[in-house]
Amino acid sequence: MKHLNISEEVSDALSNRKPVIALESTIISHGMPYPQNYETAIEVENTVRDSRAIPATIAIIKGIIKIGLDKNEVEFLSAEKNILKASRRDIPVIISQKLSAATTVSATMICAKLAGLKIFATGGIGGVHRNAQNTFDISADLTELAQTNIAVISAGVKSILDIGLTLEYLETMGVPVIGYKTEEFPAFYTRESGFKVNYKIDSAKEIAEMIKTKWELGLNGGVIIANPIPEEFSMDKNTIDNAIEEALKEADEKGIKGKDVTPFLLSHIKKLTEGKSLESNIKLVLNNAKLAAEIGVGLEDS
């Protein structure tokens, strides 16, 4: 495909049936400040390699979908100020106009499928926003999960969203929500949300077998593997909930809407938690990358 460029490392891995783990780039360009974003992106890739898989960080650079980035490209996404944010709707415009963009969960899933990848590690997925019954603000990540055969490992969804409605939407779309060693759906910064997963599975190998079975049966669509943030980095639920309520109130007062809401809230929460939320964010992404690699190895071995 003329719009797709697969790195030599990723191409060799695919040819030799080595597990390849897709990684999104929005966390680099829009999720963390510089230089933590660059350092985290490199550390995530190294975590995947240490777990016997090959990382494939995905972005659109000058109109080309890149599957696997070199360090100069990661640096470009980390330091450049005007990197766009690509969801499904944006991809054709960005490519045809030869622009550069970081890929969200939905766009990363699309690009990963084009390259033949099956496993994708991220921080947290998007979901149904609070007050969605009036705004209809529902992340494209959820509709993508309903139709694209990619297994997504995440620390749940951020509690800035309506977690209950998000899980209801995933149920309607037939997307299994699997808890890795947990019966409770995690809320990104915290291990608790008050909501249950569909099934608890305790090993990466069993998760890989479940994913394989789903697609062998022709049951198209993704899978959510909910992997709670490690206990030692989990934040106090009340602290996070209070910070989110304050951030949501300020966003409403300032008239911040649409795709600008999430980055505003995350920045505000970082300030209110004195930077602790950023540290938690980094640790949970690394934790997800490790599990994704283990599942990828299990999928290739099954």
Q: Which of 87, 150, 137, 123 is nearest to 299 (CA)?
A: 150
Cα pseudo-dihedral 197, 222, 215, 208, rounded to 10: -60
Is residue 45 pLDDT above 80, yes or no? yes
Is residue 221 pLDDT above 90, yes or no? yes
Is residue 272 pLDDT above 90, yes or no? no
Given this model, what pLDDT does residue 102 score? 98
Is residue 259 pLDDT above 70, yes or no? no
Given this model, what pLDDT does residue 135 score? 79
Using CA atoms, how far residue 237 sits from 126, 132, 138, 182, 249, in Å, is: 19, 23, 24, 17, 18
Handedness of CA 160, 125, 214, 44 (dihedral sign): negative
DSSP string, 104-136: -HHHHHHHHHHTT--EEE-S-B--BBTTHHHH-
Given this model, what pLDDT does residue 267 score? 79
Q: How much is the average pLDDT of 220-241? A: 93
Given this model, what pLDDT does residue 188 score? 93
User: pLDDT by residue (tens digit) across 133-155?
Assistant: 887 889 999 999 999 999 999 99
Q: Tokens 């890929």 belong to which residue? A: 103
Given this model, what pLDDT does residue 153 score? 98
Strands (E), 114-211: 119-121, 151-154, 177-180, 199-201
Q: Is 274 a catalytic residue?
A: no
Mean pLDDT of the chain: 93
Given this model, what pLDDT does residue 273 score? 79
Q: Report strand pairing: 84-86 vs 64-67.
A: unpaired
Q: How much is the average pLDDT of 30-48? A: 95
Q: How much is the average pLDDT of 256-284? A: 80
Q: Is 168 a catalytic residue?
A: no
Catalytic residue among 85, 113, 118, 158: 158
Q: Which of 102, 211, 208, 229 is nearest to 157 (CA)?
A: 229
Contact 223, 198 (CB under 8 A): no
Given this model, what pLDDT does residue 53 score? 98
Catalytic residue among 24, 45, 144, 294: 24
Handedness of CA 231, 234, 239, 244 (dihedral sign): negative
Q: Tokens 């990540």 belong to which residue? A: 141
Contact 111, 66 (CB under 8 A): no
Contact 291, 240 (CB under 8 A): no
Q: How much is the average pLDDT of 289-300? A: 97
Given this model, what pLDDT does residue 76 score? 98
Q: Tokens 């944010």 belong to which residue? A: 85
User: What domains sit in the chain, N to C, each tagged with a CATH number?
Assistant: 4-301 (3.40.1790.10)
Q: How much is the average pLDDT of 178-198? A: 96
Q: How much is the average pLDDT of 69-78? A: 98
pTM to 2 decimal places: 0.94
> pLDDT band for position 240 (50/70/90)?
confident
Contact 184, 227 (CB under 8 A): no
Is residue 37 pLDDT above 80, yes or no? yes
Q: How much is the average pLDDT of 69-77? A: 98
